[in-house]
C-alpha cells in the first residue's frame, strides 16, 4: 500500500488514500497497453464502409466495341474499374473489425495505465462530488479549483451519480464515464484522470 493525496472540491488537502501497489504501483507494460488499445479501437469500428464492384454497378451488358480492328485498346465492359462510373477495384466491403484479447492482458493494461498516471502525477483524487442538482457552473468551479482547466480530463464516476454526470458533461475537454465503462482507451486518453477515492477503490477491487 502507498499513500496518495486526496483533495476536496475546493482544491485543498483532504487526507490521503491507501492505494494498492499491485494496481497503482506496477511498472507499466507499454506493449500490452498498445495491443489492448488497438483491439478496443478495432472493436469500436462499425465496419459499414462499402463500395460497388464491377458486378454491382449498372450498365455494361455488351462489349463497348469489337475486339479487333478499331485501333483502340480491347474492352470487355464499361463496368470495369478503369471506366468512369465503373466498379471499384478491391474497394472496402462491410465486415467485422473486432478482435479478441486475453482478459488478463486487459487488466494488466488498465493497471499499467493507472500506475503510469500515479507516477506522472496525473491522477487526481477527490473526497466526494456531491451535487444536489445538476450545475455546470459549479462543476466548472471544481475543475478550476483543482487546477485542471487547461488539461483534457477524464472523469470517472459511480454508475448512479447522475447529477455529477449531468454537471460535467457539457464542459469542454472533460470526458465523463461511469466506472463500469472504464477501459484502457478512456483511462489513458487524457492529461488528467479525475475520480473520487471510492471509485479508485472500486477499480482496485476489480483489477487486483
pLDDT (average), residues 66-95: 94
pLDDT (average), residues 54-83: 92
Model confidence pLDDT, tens digit, residues 132-181: 899 999 999 999 999 999 999 999 999 989 999 999 999 999 999 999 99
Q: Is 8 in the same domain as 87?
A: no
Pick from 192, 190, 196, 193: nearest CA to 161: 196
3-state percent helix, strand, coil for the chain, nearest multiple of 5:
35, 15, 50
Q: Is 129 in the same domain as 192?
A: yes
Query: 75: how many CB neighbours lie within 10 A of its CB?
Result: 15
The reported pLDDT for the residue numbered 1 is 73
Q: What contacts 188, CB < 8 A, 6 or more positions away?
A: 33, 37, 113, 116
Instruction: Look at the chain and report how many structural domains it folds into.
Output: 2
Q: Which pLDDT band holds residue 103 (cuts at 50, 70, 90)?
A: very high
Provide the residue range defining the domain that includes 201. 2-45+101-207
Q: List the CATH number of the domain containing 40.
A: 3.40.1370.10
Amino acid at each position: 500500500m502507498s499513500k496518495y493525496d486526496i483533495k476536496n472540491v475546493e482544491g485543498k488537502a483532504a487526507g490521503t488514500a491507501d492505494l494498492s501497489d499491485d494496481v497503482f504501483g506496477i511498472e507499466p507494460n507499454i506493449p500490452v497497453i498498445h495491443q489492448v488499445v488497438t483491439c478496443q479501437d478495432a472493436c469500436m469500428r462499425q465496419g459499414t464502409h462499402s463500395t460497388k464492384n464491377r458486378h454491382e454497378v449498372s450498365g455494361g451488358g455488351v462489349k463497348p466495341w469489337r475486339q479487333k480492328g478499331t485501333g483502340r485498346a480491347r474492352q470487355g465492359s464499361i463496368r470495369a474499374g478503369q471506366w468512369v462510373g465503373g466498379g471499384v477495384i478491391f474497394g472496402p466491403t462491410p465486415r467485422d473489425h473486432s478482435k479478441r484479447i486475453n482478459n488478463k492482458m486487459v487488466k494488466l493494461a488498465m493497471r499499467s495505465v493507472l500506475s503510469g498516471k500515479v507516477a506522472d502525477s496525473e491522477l487526481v483524487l477527490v473526497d466526494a462530488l456531491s451535487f444536489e442538482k445538476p450545475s455546470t457552473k459549479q462543476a466548472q468551479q471544481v475543475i478550476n479549483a483543482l487546477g485542471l482547466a487547461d488539461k483534457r480530463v477524464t472523469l470517472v464516476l459511480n454508475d448512479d451519480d447522475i447529477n455529477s454526470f449531468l454537471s460535467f458533461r457539457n464542459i469542454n475537454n472533460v470526458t465523463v464515464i461511469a466506472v463500469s465503462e472504464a477501459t484502457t482507451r478512456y483511462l489513458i486518453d487524457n492529461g488528467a484522470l479525475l475520480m473520487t477515492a471510492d471509485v479508485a477503490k472500486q477499480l482496485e477491487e476489480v483489477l487486483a
